[in-house]
């Protein structure tokens, strides 16, 4: 497995989630016969944004995860960060749907997924800069 078994594991898991999100966009485009963009279809717009939001956050966070693993961060902490991020990204994908009227549990899910992503990003950032602050 090499020196970075946890990064390999979580990159694979996030790759599977990314494939699912991408396939959802492609199938929705095919169903609506839309080659590019969203064609003004709210459901397709939402699927594109779920995928886009994933690609805006997860790659940099996986890069940070890799650096943390290379810096010998405790495996239990890395598993907590990786599992937490995976869960909040799944919650985000499930709860961000076009629905009229929006349900309270979906609103809560969007809030939890956004807050969770930010907290994990902040935690990883602080772990990375901690050695330079505590000198």
| pLDDT of res. 134 | 81
**pLDDT digit string, tens, across residues 53-92:** 999 999 999 999 999 999 999 999 999 999 999 999 999 9
Decide if domain 5-133 falls under CATH 1.20.120.550: yes
* DSSP for residue 98: -
| Dihedral of the alpha carbons of 55, 119, 132, 73, in degrees to the nearest 10 | -80
**pLDDT digit string, tens, across residues 22-56:** 999 999 999 999 999 899 898 999 999 999 999 99
**pLDDT digit string, tens, across residues 99-132:** 667 788 888 999 999 999 999 999 999 999 998 9
- Number of alpha carbons in the 13 Å side-chain half-sphere of residue 62: 21
Where on the phi/psi map is residue 100: left (φ > 0), alpha (ψ -120 to 50), or beta? Answer: beta
Q: What is the pTM of this model?
A: 0.92
Tokens of 20: 């699912």
Could you tell me the residue ranges of all domains in the chain? 5-133
| pLDDT of res. 99 | 67
């Amino acid at each position: 497995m090499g020196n970075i078994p946890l990064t390999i594991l979580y990159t694979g898991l996030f790759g599977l989630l990314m494939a699912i999100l991408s396939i959802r966009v492609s199938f929705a485009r095919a169903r609506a016969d839309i080659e590019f963009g969203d064609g003004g279809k709210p459901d397709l717009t939402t699927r594109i944004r779920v995928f886009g939001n994933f690609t805006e956050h997860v790659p940099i966070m996986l890069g940070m995860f890799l650096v943390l693993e290379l810096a010998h961060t405790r495996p239990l902490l890395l598993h907590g960060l990786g599992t937490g991020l995976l869960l909040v990204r799944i919650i985000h994908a499930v709860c961000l749907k076009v629905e009229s009227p929006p349900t309270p549990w979906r609103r809560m899910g969007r809030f939890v997924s956004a807050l969770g992503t930010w907290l994990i990003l902040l935690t990883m950032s602080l772990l990375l800069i901690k050695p330079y602050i505590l000198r």
